[in-house]
A and B are shown apart, each in its own frame.
Chain A
Amino acid sequence: MKPIVELRNASRWYGQVMGLNDVTCQIGPGITALLGQNGAGKSTMMRLITGQLRTTTGEVLVGGMQPFANPEVYKLLGYCPEIDNFYEYMTGRQFVQNLARLAGLSPERAKSRTQEVLEIVGMADRCDRKIAGYSKGMRQRIKLAQAMLHDPQIILLDEPLNGLDPVGRRDYMDLLGYLADQGKGIVVSSHILFEVEQLTRSILLLHRGRLLATGDIRVIRELIDKHPHRIRIETPDPRAFAQNLVGLPYVLSVEVTAEGLELRTREPGMFYDALPALIVDHGLRIDGLWSPDNNLESVFRYLVEA
């Protein structure tokens, strides 16, 4: 599929400070997560794509065009910035409608489109109050509304899940899924990894300005199989369970804990396949089974440490 955004050896320096270092990647339709710790270069990458900053070396292309101060590019992209600042004296509707006009819509179309997007983000019934009185969740929704006004091909959201309560996060993620289903490219930057994991498997992992990994989270996990995978088992008799586990060739270690036991393996798939037979054959009982490494957080940690 043809990429909407393309970075070719893109670097950005702020004087002596590196913001982004030699990043090459492509972003197409669907949801892509831009992951990294604070200072990893996520916002710099967002600002390069949205044409607020220029690259120091390399290039960024959006729809085949250089984005810096390029009005044609802004017809293709919507941007939801991380900052929480607005024209506080405006109502949500006024804010979105003014930006609709600035997006080039006629007064009538701006009015109707404003109503449409406010309904999509669930703000239609609350948008006539001053923004100054909005909660964090309402502000995030208004920011998303203004980003999708002109039906862009790609929407970039910088830390959109910050400050949202669990219900708000779920609603917001559903909304992003809906937009992705419409064929939009959605780029979400975040350091809240477990939330991103629920959103997409396509990631770009940044660390200290460098692109550390890119692609499907499952493929990346396969690349890190040299790292032991931890599995925690809740059982009333951890010592008996441990006795049966230590003989398995793919189990590296077993540690008895207060709730049960924790084992480390390089072959989690083989372990999971063998576990039912083990339980039945030895009359073991388990109350719970989970892995602290079975999430994006662990992938991130492994890759960063590597």
Chain B
Amino acid sequence: MPLFLYTLALRDFLRPRRIVVWILVALSLLALGLVWRSVYAGSPREDYASLSSIFVFRLIALSSAIFATAIVTQEVEQKTIVYLLTRPIPRWQLLASRMLAAATVVFGVTVLAILATSIAIYGFRFGSNPLLVNDLKAAAVGSLAYVSLFTMFTLVINRAMVVCLIYAFLWEVGIPNFSGDLFYTSIFSYLQAIAEHPALPTQQMLVSALAGQGGDAALVAGTAWPVLLILIGSLTGLAMWWFTHFEYVPREDAE
């Protein structure tokens, strides 16, 4: 049953009307990378790291916000949730399968973006890109982390999309650049640690800030991995418990 739930949700998320935009956004990084190379012309490693931090990692957060909203909120707003909740399926299975499907799609979109960026900088010589494998690892764990966090938002907050987008853009862009320990509250900081992106030249302040390197973040992959895995596990567990114990009825019927 969980496998069928997963494939059913995956088919829904991969409908052409829904996915084409994301594929185009991911592939647009190829053109953006070529422009970037002609403007900045730094070392390939720095250019790739800048593009990845500024665009690819933001795409993980943005697409997670959109697809996490589709897991429950969209069903509630479209009033189709009733068909799912009146089937003999434990609610936690329903939620977990849909979360995994959403994370899969986010990961797929991000992989496309990573490959497009790599092609723009290194051509088709993927072996020449020293950051590629770490970026793929960060994309995988990042997809799960953002989807679990945003799913929790959607379960608890009405109109959660706005909150998810604020977190994805304002919080995740701003917080890693603050001095002090606030960077611990940003998933982006942990993903940067896993990706092990090089420090960017300090004279490029704007690029450095957009890439989230303006603060005191001093995380290492050895810390980031367990923290994110615990975060994913606890948020997913909490979301499953919440979804099982609280009411979800079609939006305009909820009083």
Contacts and interface: CB of A to CB of B under 8 A. Distances in A.
Interface of A: 14-15, 17, 19, 43, 47, 50-54, 69, 71-72, 74-75, 77, 79, 81, 83, 85-87, 89, 98-99, 101-104, 146, 150
A81 B244 CA distance: 21
Interface of B is mostly: loop
B4 A89 contact: no
B8 A98 contact: yes
Given A14-B255, A87-B80, A72 B88 contact: yes
Interface stretch (B54-62, B172-180, B246-254): B246-254
Contacts of A86: 80
B253 A102 contact: no
| Most B C-beta atoms less than 10 A away, residue of A19, A52, A79 | A52
B43 to A, nearest CB: 47
B125 interface: no
A103 B249 contact: no
A71 B86 contact: no
20 contacts: A43-B253, A47-B253, A52-B249, A69-B91, A69-B244, A69-B245, A74-B86, A74-B88, A81-B79, A81-B82, A83-B250, A85-B79, A85-B80, A87-B12, A98-B8, A99-B87, A102-B4, A103-B87, A146-B83, A150-B88
User: Which are the 5 A-B pairs with shortest beta-carbon distances?
Assistant: A14-B255, A74-B88, A85-B79, A102-B87, A71-B88
Contacts of B78: 85
A7 B59 CA distance: 50
B1 A104 contact: yes
A75 B79 contact: no
A79 B86 contact: yes
Contacts of B83: 81, 99, 146
A51 B255 contact: no
B97 to A, nearest CB: 11
Given A69-B91, A72-B88, 20 more contacts: A14-B255, A17-B255, A47-B253, A51-B86, A52-B82, A53-B249, A71-B87, A71-B90, A74-B89, A77-B86, A81-B79, A83-B79, A83-B82, A85-B80, A87-B12, A87-B80, A102-B1, A102-B89, A103-B88, A146-B83
